[in-house]
């Protein structure tokens, strides 16, 4: 079965898109067939891989204006395809209100092409609106990037209660695939304190690998490249390769 991972956290700027792109690229580098789905109207995953969304993209697929095959692009990197998005995608937040069984639409669309891929990664927007729910219902797992700062855990409990609602009502398959500590700076006491708290609170769910704050990770998207293509020797690239390997180990 294709592992479909939603990368979600309603808090903004915690590293969701960086994680989605880097993990997709990391798995593709290991010659796994990967689809990266940009499920955020900000379109950062699309632009971060050097693309501009043109119709048809994810919006047209979700509202039934285009078959999914027509919207998927080769990313330009081996083994990696992209289902892009742009700001039109925000229309879903309005148009799906009151629609029957809207929650299942992304899952149904992905089911048509899932067997072409070993892994599908979905980059979620910073909200718990329709787009994140669509991703959670389509997914087999959710990965939560978490920045080590005050109140980080409170945001995670809200997200986890949404995950539980989705699991009990709509998608019993959905698992917590893991919590990933991002923008990690071990010189800061706050980072170490939050890390200890998160690891105690979610034993076995926090990735051993942590993603350091690394300027190469911040630079890569402006070049339209994943960190692996931008600077394979950087600490950011090493960290995300370690996370990709950990995920593969766990999914066996
Ligand atoms: P949003 O909620 O807006 O979608 P996000 O959770 O997807 O944000 P990113 O876009 O991945 O977060 O990261 C936010 C910013 O921080 C970006 O400019 C990104 O390049 C940078 N960034 C992400 N991870 C790191 C890191 N480990 N080290 C340094 N900069 C990082
Ligand atoms: Mg993002």
Q: Supply the pLDDT for residue 197.
A: 93
Say if ligand 1 is within 6 A of residue 91 CB: no
Least confident of 128-132, 153-157, 232-236: 153-157
Which pLDDT tens digit goes with each residue over 62-75? 999 999 999 999 99
CA of 3 to the centre of ligand 2 (A): 21
CA gap 156, 170 in Å, rounded:
20
C-alpha to C-alpha distances, 21 to 45, 54, 59, 61, 69, nearest whole angstrom? 6, 19, 20, 21, 21
Long-range contacts formed by 215-219: CB under 8 A, 24+ apart = 217/18, 217/22
- This prediction has a pTM of 0.97
Q: Are 136 and 166 a contacting pair, CB within 8 Å?
A: yes
Of 177, 189, 157, the C-alpha closest to 243 is 177
- Residue 223 CB less than 6 A away from ligand 1: no
Is the minimum distance from the CB of 107 to ligand 1 under 6 angstroms?
Answer: no
Structure tokens given for 67:
């078959």
Contact between residue 58 and residue 9 where contact means Cβ atoms under 8 Å apart: no
Note the pLDDT of residue 153.
86
Which one of the ligands is nearest to 215 CA?
1
pLDDT digits (tens, 9 = 90+) for 136-152: 999 999 999 999 888 88
Q: Which residue is closest in CA terms to ligand 1's atom 24?
A: 15
Q: Is the pLDDT of residue 250 over 90?
A: no
């Amino acid at each position: 079965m294709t592992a479909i991972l939603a990368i979600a956290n309603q808090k903004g700027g915690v590293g969701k898109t960086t994680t989605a792109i880097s993990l997709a690229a990391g798995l593709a580098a290991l010659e796994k067939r990967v689809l990266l789905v940009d499920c955020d109207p900000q379109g950062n995953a699309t632009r971060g891989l050097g693309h501009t969304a043109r119709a048809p993209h994810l919006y047209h697929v979700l509202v039934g204006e285009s078959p999914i095959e027509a919207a998927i692009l080769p990313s330009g990197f081996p083994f990696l395809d992209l289902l892009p998005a742009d700001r039109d995608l925000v229309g879903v937040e309005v148009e799906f209100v009151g629609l029957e069984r809207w929650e299942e639409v992304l899952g149904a669309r992905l089911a048509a092409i899932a067997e072409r891929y070993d892994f599908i990664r979905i980059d979620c927007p910073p909200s718990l609106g329709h787009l994140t729910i669509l991703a959670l219902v389509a997914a087999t797992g959710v990965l939560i990037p978490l920045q080590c700062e005050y109140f980080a855990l409170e945001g995670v409990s809200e997200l986890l209660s949404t995950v539980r609602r989705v699991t009990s009502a709509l998608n019993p398959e959905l698992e917590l695939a893991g919590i990933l500590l991002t923008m990690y700076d071990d010189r800061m006491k706050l980072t170490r304190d939050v890390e200890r708290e998160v690891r105690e609170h979610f034993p076995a769910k926090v990735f051993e690998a942590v993603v350091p704050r690394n300027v190469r990770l911040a630079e890569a998207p402006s070049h339209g490249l994943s960190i692996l293509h931008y600077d394979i020797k950087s600490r950011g690239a090493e960290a995300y390769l370690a996370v990709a390997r950990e995920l593969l180990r766990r999914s066996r």
